Amino acid sequence: MNIYDSLLGAVHNEYDVLMLIKKSERGEVSLVRHRDSGTRYIFRHFYGNSEVYQKLLNVSCPNLPQIMEVGEKDGKTALLEEYVQGDTLSEILEGGLLTTAESKQIARQLCSALWVFHSMGMVHRDVKPDNVIIRGKEAVLIDFDASRIYKSTIQEDTQILGTTGFAAPEQYGLSQSDGRADIYALGVLLNIMLIGEHPSRKLAGGRMGRIVQRCTMVNPAKRYKNILHLMEVL
């Protein structure tokens, strides 16, 4: 029996499904609890390859959920990941804007998560408030279903995925997205944390506004050269 089948069997026989978090044509995401230990996990089951999740197996970063098990079969992926308890950044922003210090701290922690991605040749491609959970004082970047591995041999993304408003222009088939697409999305997110507006409508003032402006340049070559550079500037 392969990992995919054994994982499906284990979830069916050893876990209780507490809640269906998300369901789409592509698959579903559930909150499950192990019957013996009581530990809660996120279970993802979707059409698509597992290569990003496979690379993140056994990677430990406080700003990313731990991936516990991954299996793939016939174009479908099943996986168990750490359940990150906290409020999404979306929920927090419903209560009001963040201070400059809070926004910078969250942005720096997301840079740390994205550095893990980028150093392994991967792009997240869906950095947005719904995909950031605030656990205590830690920002945790979740949901890697739109993520991909950068391939130097192709010219553009094979699949257009991402969220309108946060997705960089190159994610719409103009060229292949790389780590600079995540820098674009993080710039948009930073502006929303600070003033509640997309930078195309209104830009934050002062130095933070200049950082956002550079992050969100249409031409990727004019953005920060990498996520570590942005982290240093912040």
Q: For the segment 168-208, what is each residue's pLDDT rounded down to a tens digit? A: 887 776 556 789 999 999 999 999 999 999 999 999 999 99
d(CA 66, CA 53): 10
Query: Which tokens go with 176?
Result: 């292949």
Chain region(s) in the chain for CATH 1.10.510.10: 87-233
Report, as residue numbers or ranges, the catalytic residues: 126
Average pLDDT over residues 71-96: 96
Summarize the confidence of residues 96-105 as an average pLDDT. 98
For the residues 206-217, what does the mean pLDDT come to? 98
Q: Please determine, for residue 139, whether its predicted confidence score (pLDDT) is greater than 90.
A: yes
Q: What is the pTM of this model?
A: 0.90
Task: Extract the tokens encoding 39.
Answer: 């530990």
- Average pLDDT of the segment spanning 211-224: 96
User: In Å, what is the CA distance from 186 to each residue of 90, 134, 158, 203?
Assistant: 14, 16, 23, 14
Average pLDDT, the chain: 92
Cα 112–chain centre separation: 12
Query: What pLDDT score does 112 carry?
Result: 98
Radius of gyration (C-alpha) of the chain in whole angstroms:
18
CA-to-CA separations, 194 to 5, 95, 128, 167, in angstroms, rounded: 46, 13, 14, 19
The ranges of the chain annotated as CATH 3.30.200.20 are 3-82
- Amino acid at the residue 139: A
Cα(first)–Cα(last) distance of the chain, in Å?
A: 48
Share of the chain above pLDDT 70, in %: 92
At residue 107, the pLDDT reads 98
Into which CATH architecture does domain 3-82 fall?
2-Layer Sandwich (3.30)
Indicate if the pLDDT at residue 158 is higher than 60: no
Q: Does the pLDDT at position 58 exceed 90?
A: no
Name the fold adopted by 87-233.
Answer: Transferase(Phosphotransferase); domain 1 (1.10.510)
- Whose CA is closest to 45, among 17, 85, 65, 66? 17
Per-residue pLDDT tens digits for 105-123:
999 999 999 999 999 999 9
